[in-house]
Structure 1
Amino acid sequence: MTTRLPSTGAPDPAAAPSTTCRSDEVVVIHRLFRRLFAEAPSLVRGVAPDDTAHARRVAKHLHGIIALLHVHHRTEDAYFWDVMTDRAPACGLHVELMRRQHGAVSDRLDVADALVDRWAHRADARTAARIASELEEVDRLLVEHLADEERDAFPVLDAILSDAEWDDIHRHAQRHKPPMPIFVLLGLMIESVPEAEREQWLAKEMPAPVRLAYRAVGRRQYERAVERLRSHGREPRGSTGAAPAFA
C-alpha cells in the first residue's frame, strides 16, 4: 500500500488514481543494474593483457548492459518526470535531481562505451584500467541514484500513476529489442531476485511457456554464457570454443 513520505511532497493517495505499488516492478530492474555494474570492473580486470578473444567477450557484455541502462533511463525520462512535475509540483526538486543524475550516469556510460570499443581489439592494460575506473564511477553514481529514486520518486509515482499508465510503460519497455540474448537477460534478472522471493516472482512475472522454456534450455544457455564471461580466458567445461559468449 502506498504511503506518503513527507520529504517527497507526494499527493494524498486518497485523491490519486486507484493503483498498487507498481514501482516494485522497477525495483527488480534496479537490483539487476546494481549487480551488473558492481561486477563490471572486476570482469575487465580479469582479462589478461593481449587476450583479445576474452576481451571481445567481456566487451560484448559491457556494451549490452550499457545499452540496457540507457534504455531504462530513457524510458523513465519519457514517462516519469513530466508527470511528476504536472501532478506533484511540490516534487520539483526531486525531479530535477533525477534528471541530473540520469545525465551524469549517461555521460559516464558513453565514455566507458567508447573505451570498451578500443580495448576489445587490443586488450591493453592501460585502457582496461581506464575502463574499470569509469565503471567504478558509474557504479558509485548508480548506487546513489537508485537509492534516491526509490526513496523520493517511487512513492510519488505509485500515488499518481494509474495501473493503466504503468501497463503502458511496461508495453513501451517490451518494444525494445534486448541488447543481449533473452535467456541470458532472464537468467541475470532471476538471480537478482532474492532467493526467498524467486518462485513467487517467476509465477507472477513470467508466463508459463517462458518459465518452461527457460528451465528446458534457457538456464543452460545462461549458465554457459556466464561461465565463459567469467572464465578469465579459459574455455568452460565442455566448450568447443566455437560459440561466442551470449550468442
Structure 2
Amino acid sequence: MKNTEPNLLGITINHRSMRGDARRFADVTRAIADGSLPGTPGRARAIQQYLTSLCDGIHHHHQAEDDVLWPVLRETAGAEVDLAELTDDHKQLDPLLDRVRAEATALAAAPADRAAAGRLSDTLATLRDLLDEHIDDEERTVFPVIRRYVNHDQWQQVENAVRKGSKIGFELPRIERYATPDELADLRRTAGPVLLLMLAAVRPGFARRERVIFG
C-alpha cells in the first residue's frame, strides 16, 4: 500500500541544523572577539566559507517554502493556515543573511580584528534568535496542517524543490551531525546505500573544516 503520509523528518533536521549552526558560530566568533580563541587567517577563511554556504542554504530553504510549500498549503488547507507572520519573518531574514555574509568576509580580510569578530557574533546571535522563534512558530502551526492536509505526492514536490539547488556536499554532513541515531537509521532505510557512499565522500572534508574552525 502506498504511503500517503508526508514524512517531515528531512525538514525537521534541516531546521535543527540551521538553528544549531547559527548558535555555534555565534559562540565561536564571540570566542575570537574575546581573545579566548586565536583569530588566524585559516580559521577566518573557513568561517567565511562555511557561513556563506549556511546563508545560501537558509535563503534557499525559505524561498522554497514561499514558492512551493505556501501555495500547496493555501490550496489544500485554505483558511486553516495563516502564513502572513511566517512570510514576514522570511522578509526579515534576507537582509540579516546579507549582513552575515558581509561581516564574515570582513573578518576573513582582517582575521585578527576582534571587533570584526564581535560584530559578526552579534549578527549571528540575532540570526539565531530569529531562527529559533520562526522555526518554533512554523513547526507548531504549520506542521500539523501539513500532516492533516498535504498528501505524500504533494509533499514530495516540496522536498524536490528544497533539494534542487542545495549544496549536497555541505548539507549531507550537517544532516549526519544534527540527526539522532534513530533518524539517521530512518534516512538510511529510505535512501539506501547511496546515502552511505555520498556521506563517505564528503565526511572527511567537512571534518577537516570543523577542526580548522573549532580546534
The TM-score with structure 1 as length reference comes to 0.75
**Which residue does the alignment assign to 1:37?**
22
Partners of 2:159 and 2:67 in 1: how far apart?
12
On the 8 A contact 1:81/1:95 being kept in 2, the answer is yes
Tell me which amino acid in the other structure corresponds to 2:11: V
- The structure carrying a bigger helix percent of its residues is 2
Deviations 1:4-63 (A, max 9, x none): xxxxxxxxxxxxxx8313233311211111211111112223445763332111111111
Kept in 1, the 8 Å contact 2:188–2:195? The answer is no
Aligned-pair Cα RMSD in Å: 2.2
Using the alignment, how far apart are the partners of 2:58 and 2:136 within structure 1? 16
Paired residues of 1:187 and 1:219 also in contact (CA < 8 A): yes
| Worse-superposed segment, 26-35 or 162-171 | 162-171
How far did residue 219 of structure 1 move? 3.0
Q: In structure 2, give the amino acid aligned to 1:41.
A: A
Give the 3 Å change call, closer, same or farther, for CA 80–171 of structure 1 in structure 2: closer
**The one of 161, 170, 185 aligned to 1:199:** 185
The letter of the residue matching 1:102 is H
User: What is the aligned counterpart of 1:64 among 48, 53, 58?
Assistant: 53
Q: C-alpha distance in 1, partners of 2:48/2:161? A: 27
- Contact persistence 1:43–1:58 (CA under 8 A): no
Residue 213 (structure 1) shift: 4.6
1:94-113 superposed matches below 5 A: 94-113=82-101
Q: Distance in 1 between matches of 2:16 and 2:197?
A: 24
User: Does the Cα contact within 8 Å between 1:115 and 1:131 map onto a contact in 2?
Assistant: yes
The equivalent residue for 1:220 is 204
Instruction: Report which stretch shifted further, 116-125 or 48-57.
Output: 48-57
Percent identity reads: 21
Alignment coverage as a number of residue pairs: 208
C-alpha distance after superposition, 1:78-110 (max 9, x if no partner): 112233334333245x30011011122222212
Provide structure 2 residue ranges, at least 5 long, that are not aligned to the other structure: none
Say if 2:12 is the partner of 1:27: yes
Q: CA deviation at 1:134?
A: 0.8
1:165 CA drift (Å): 1.8
Between the aligned partners of 1:67 and 1:213, the Cα distance in structure 2 is 21
- 8 Å CA contact 2:173–2:203 kept in 1: the answer is yes
Give secondary structure in 2 for the equivalent of 1:168. Answer: helix
CA distance in 1, matches of 2:92, 2:60: 15
Which residue does the alignment assign to 1:186? 172
Counterpart pick for 1:76 among 45, 49, 65: 65
1:136-170 residue CA offsets vs partner (Å, 9 max, x unmatched): 01100101111110110111123222222222222
Can you give the 5+ residue segments of structure 1 that lack an aligned partner in the other structure?
Answer: 1-17, 232-247
Q: What do the CA deviations read for 1:192-241 (whole angstroms, capped 9, x no partner)?
A: 1113432233222x3313313534x443333222112212xxxxxxxxxx
1:160 and 2:160 are equivalent in the alignment = no
